[in-house]
Chain A
Amino acid sequence: MKEVIVLIGNYGSGKTELALNFAFQAANEGKKVELLDLDMVNTYFRLTDRGNLIKMKEIRLVSPNFVHSSVETLSLPAEVASAFALDWDTVIFDVGGDPAGATALGRYHEDFAALPEGSLKVLNVVNTRRPMAGTPDKLLSLMEGMERHSRQKVTGFINNTNLARMASADDLRDGYEIIAEASRRSGVPVLYTSGRPDLLAEFMAEERDPRFVGAPMPIETYMHRDWETFTREGL
């Protein structure tokens, strides 16, 4: 059965990072993978920035029209239909942050609805170190907005709490508390906890309610947004 993963979440929560990690993991297992860059809001730091790397892994990448042309008004490409029409093992949608970004998904709600039962995962990527996601209230109100605009229901949280180059296991611990509360209130399970392998191992070694931890997902960092990468590669 085709597996369709939709990643939504606040700006800077790590959606693109996770999209790459999910895709590379699937490709390494020999699966046929398609990645869709559906961020129609933010011009910078997008999946297509890693286009060469994605193609090297023999993953199909779909990008908005006019991407990387310094044009700010992107438009959805017709090729998005290939996600539903063609025979992939894994399809991953990387959507823009916040409700405005999630709007891009709404147009495909009939296609999503036609997918076989159990093949769609809509994952809300959360980094509680980001300003608009630091409390259960903020998280839930953001999630409600994204659900409404995308015409989808979130099926699981990903705790991806980090402080970029200053990340520590404490970030995951704090994220756990806030997301657990949001999960209790909304009934949406936590499906993954993700982070740098060493930090994740430290976090996973401790006793916690597994309902709010989910599967551990060690990730490699491809999308640097820090100063050092900027000076090398620019925006």
Chain B
Amino acid sequence: MALTLMKGSEAIAEAAIRAGCRYFFGYPITPQTEIPEYMSERMPEIGGCFLQAESEVGAINMVYGAAGTGERVLTSSSSPGVSLKQEGISYIAGAQLPCVIMNVMRGGPGLGSIQAGQGDYFQATKGGGHGDYHLVVFAPASVQESIDIMSVAFDTADKYQCPVMVVADGMICQMMEPVVLPEMKEYKVDLEKKPWAANGHGFSKPAGRSIINSMYITTEALSEHNEKLQAIYREIEANEVRFEAYNMENAEIIVTAFGTVARIAKSAIDDLKEEGVNIGMIRPITLWPFPYKELHDAAMAPGVKAVLDVELNAGQMLEDVKLAINGDKPVDFFGHYGSQMPTPEEIKEKLLSMREVL
């Protein structure tokens, strides 16, 4: 297969296009500006639409509009910009529209830094906007996995008629790796499959909508709408959990980590294996739905003495890890904030120090 040397951000943009995305609305912000830049070059080539909005708020509302027609739509931003989009995301969730939102996380809070970060875990998984809603959240750990996840993200959004978020960070988007791209997929809106899509011709189907909004004025109607949403979320929780289990055989400690940090932890685990120490890893690929049961089962295996959660934040996924373990095993944490990437050596040292007292 033909390999191309791609930067993570270019690869994500091209993968979205190949998954059938023909509409991109965004606004520049480091470290993801290469995504809109690439889109501005590629979309006109293939008859798609690239539009640089006046702001992140504008961009997410353009996503709302375009997604309402049933097309595959992407927006991307980085942490502060994703905060700005939250109102629109809540509206999209309320209106039950499929779309993909990319968050290339950087250090926060506030303006923070332009280096890698993982501080938006809470925002992504617990609902950064208002109301009872969830986003399906994917967290790839390499350039190739980012490519592979883009088509899954669009398919998932369509299947459950909900917004999907992909979180990466400055490392994934700025590094260059040889990658394999999937074949180009031509996407045509099928109104049989998307009877809800507004097509500009009034109520074309019995179930069709000519107005797409998220307003349910009576308490009964709003309650019924929320019940419908919650039923979809339960279905997603039952069907869409993704995770990677690494080196689990005879593991003494299980590391939990996501995204680039998981890749760093993997280096530490490989080094320790050579030294005769077995450490396993559960890497959630979906941050929501979180692999609660799978992590608990793994931690209950005989021989597992503790769990170490590693993150590039003050311990956000840690809360879900603790919920999963539910007090059945000790859970420890190692992390840096302020975009200071943990090194394999530091993680090794932490694991070895834990091992001494277990």
CB of A225 within 8 A of CB of B10, answer no
Contact residues in B for A132 (Cβ distance below 8 Å): 41
B115 neighbours in A (Cβ, 8 Å): 70, 234-235
Contact B344 A231, beta carbon cutoff 8 Å: yes
Cβ-defined partner of A12 (8 Å) among B5, B170, B341 = B5
One digit per residue, 1 when the CB lies within 8 angstroms of any chain B CB and 0 when it does not, for chain A 204-235 equals 00000000000000000000011100111011
Which residues 72-94 of A have a CB within 8 angstroms of B?
72
Q: Which residues of B, 7-66, contact A by the 8 Å Cβ criterion?
A: 7, 10, 14, 30-31, 34, 41
CB distance from A110 to the nearest CB of B (A): 30
Residue among B4, B10, B174, B175 with the most chain A CB within 10 A? Answer: B175
| A48 lies within 8 A of chain B by Cβ | no
Establish whether residues B14 and A131, one from each chain, have CB atoms under 8 Å apart when the complex forms.
yes
What A residues does B174 contact at CB under 8 A? 44-45, 225, 235
Q: How far is the CB of A59 from chain B (nearest CB, A)?
A: 25
Number of A-B contacts (CB under 8 A): 72
**Could you tell me the distance between the alpha carbons of A4 and B55 in the complex, rounded to whole angstroms?**
42
Question: In whole Å, how far is A221's beta carbon from the nearest beta carbon of chain B?
Answer: 13
Whether the Cβ atoms of A131 and B30 lie closer than 8 Å is no
Contact of A235 with B178 in the complex, beta carbons under 8 Å: no
- Of A11, A129, A134, A166, which is within 8 A of B7 by CB? A11
CB of A103 closer than 8 Å to a CB of B: no
Tally A residues with Cβ within 8 Å of B. 26
Q: Does B326 contact A (CB under 8 A)?
A: no
- Decide: A131 and B343 in contact? CB cutoff 8 A: no
Q: Check if A231 sits within 8 Å of B264, measured CB to CB.
A: yes
A70 adjacent to B113 (CB under 8 Å): yes
CA distance A43 to B10 in the complex (A): 16
* Given A166-B3, A231-B267, A44:B31 Cβ within 8 A: yes
- B16 CB → nearest A CB, Å: 14
**Is A12 touching B176 in the complex (CB atoms < 8 A)?**
yes
Q: For residue A12, which residue of chain B has the nearest CB? A: B176
Are B170 and A163 within 8 A (Cβ)?
Answer: no
Asked if B171 CB lies within 8 Å of chain A CBs, one says yes
A-B contact pairs, 23 of them (CB 8 A): A12-B7, A44-B31, A45-B174, A70-B115, A72-B114, A127-B5, A130-B5, A131-B10, A132-B41, A163-B178, A164-B177, A166-B3, A166-B178, A226-B175, A227-B175, A227-B177, A227-B263, A231-B264, A231-B267, A231-B343, A234-B171, A235-B116, A235-B174
Point out residues on A near B: beta carbons under 8 Å: 11-12, 43-45, 70, 72, 127, 129-132, 134, 162-166, 225-227, 230-232, 234-235
Beyond known contacts A129-B3, A164-B176: 12 more, CB 8 A cutoff:
A12-B5, A43-B31, A70-B113, A163-B3, A164-B177, A226-B176, A226-B177, A227-B175, A230-B171, A234-B171, A235-B116, A235-B171
Closest 9 CB pairs of A and B: A163-B178, A225-B176, A129-B5, A166-B178, A44-B174, A234-B341, A72-B30, A231-B264, A163-B5
